[in-house]
Structure 1
Amino acid sequence: MKTNLNDLHAFIAVVQNGNFTKAAAALGTTQSAVSQSIGNLEQNLELKLFNRTTRSVTLTEAGEKLFDYVGHQLEDIALGLERLSLMKNKPHGRVRITADDFSIKYYIYSKIKKIVKEYPEITIELISDNRQVDIAQEGYDAGVRLGLSIEKDMIAVPISHPIQMCLVASPEYMQGKAEIKSIQDLNQHHCLGIKLLTSNSLLAWNFMQGDKQIAYKIESHLIFTGVDRVLDAAIDGLGVAYLPLDIVQDFLAEGKLLSFLNESASTYPPLYLFYTSRRFNSPAFQIVCNALKES
């Protein structure tokens, strides 16, 4: 036996409103449509549900039992659907994003601060991870990575400008050291390295020679796993660093760092927020996504 939920809604409406005319008005339909729904329900159940006269509509014993069985359950379902609809329209819930420390500190955190203040019912989880994370498998709503490392089946939106690199060292370090006028001159200097935990190797320094990009494989006496410690070491005069211009430009302006080989420094694609589908994205996710897209 297959019972249409619309027929049950019509049945409940007739019981609650006392007659077919008022039930039709409550449902926003016609009296004949309500009558047809009740007829369908009685036919499917093979039971008479109402005693009808020209003046009144009353429940039969079967009708009373049906109302006892489904009346409150349908109300609970309707209430649940209404609450879900409110969740869809009201910014609410948890948004989980995976990104590396660099992206979080320099490109994400400043943009999500206002969300935390304006939308107290939105919870944002920023999980620092340098791995290539499968966001669907690991339960993330989105991830942030350089554009060149994002799978083609992902939806991706830029959240930064292209990342310009800059070769820097402190004036203190350069005292008495050979000038850096070419990539080969780096062989005479202490280079500050960044280790990629995913491959257990040092991050290569990519430079441009004409229209070709070359990878300079450094040999480092001081190695870190993040850009902040490399920046600290460069400012402290411990070696030469190759870092994003965005994080060194203030120190260049203050004279704490000097830049070299600017014409050869590489530019990487922007950082992208990536996710699996536009379908069913919550208002909370859309708010976070829009905030990160802002320049």
Structure 2
Amino acid sequence: MRWGLTVPLTGVPLREHRALIAELAELGYTDLWSAEVAGADAFTPLVLASEWDERLRLGTAVVPVHTRGPAALAMSAATLADLASGRFVLGIGASSETIVTGWNGIAYDPPLARTRDVLRFLRQAFAGEKVDGEFDSFTIRRFRLEKAPDVAPAIMLAALRPQMLRLAAREADGAITNWLSPGDVRQVRAELGDDKELAARIFVCATEDTEMARNLGRYLIATYLTVPGYAAFHDWLGRAEALAPMHAAWKAGDRNAAMAAVPESVIDDLVVHGSPEDCRARIREYLDHGLDTPIIATLPTGGSLVEVARSLAP
């Protein structure tokens, strides 16, 4: 059984993660996964973790395929693959137009084509090949890694809907998803198939203060699930009607009304909350429904997230 943790923990400086990371394997964790939105980049926390522990598998969930050039992405990944030989997983994904264009000033190429082309480029680069030619979304001229990794990293794709899940099934080593319930895992797994790894980031609010957990969940759901990709994902999962009032209020510019319109049933579906024991049991429901790798993202409750991470160990 795999059991992962998202790093860095919110509000905890990177340098203060060392003691926790050194003990995670003993606590039963198997994986550390980074993220990349507007905080730490995806690679630096894992570079540090590779020096602080030699047992945990390290993964990016995920690196956007638009915000680095293909060669720069290959170089960063190859470096980490050498530092953590045989235990690094490169998760890549299309991210969102807000991050790619709004924050980075980069054109948002069609997500499926860009992700597919970067995946194919990386396979060639990690094999030590000279990459020279045209892909549908970019052209590479005579690039070869100075040192290809001794063990090429597995490559997983961020995937929310059938087309990307099927691409992951055909050409990648697995898929990474998030913002889903245990029951939703079966629908995602049906598109991916049984032969590839399925990982999911699971948002966990380890508190028995239900009102606090739901208020935090309300804010996060209104923020995330109004992004077009996530909105379409939840339409596909069958939540279009339940989330229609939230989308209408958000579109009208009333953020408070949008948060208020998120049904409690949706919050309880998508955000794990309760005592640490309750949270662990709920995470195991994801595994029972076909998830291979839960990636816990601890949500702030006012206490120490380091202690929360310890309390959620399997």
Normalising to structure 2: TM-score of the pair? 0.25
Structure with a larger share of its residues in strand: 1
Structure with a larger share of its residues in helix: 2
Query: Which one scores higher on RCO, CA 8 angstroms, separation ≥ 6?
Result: 1
Normalising to structure 1: TM-score of the pair? 0.26
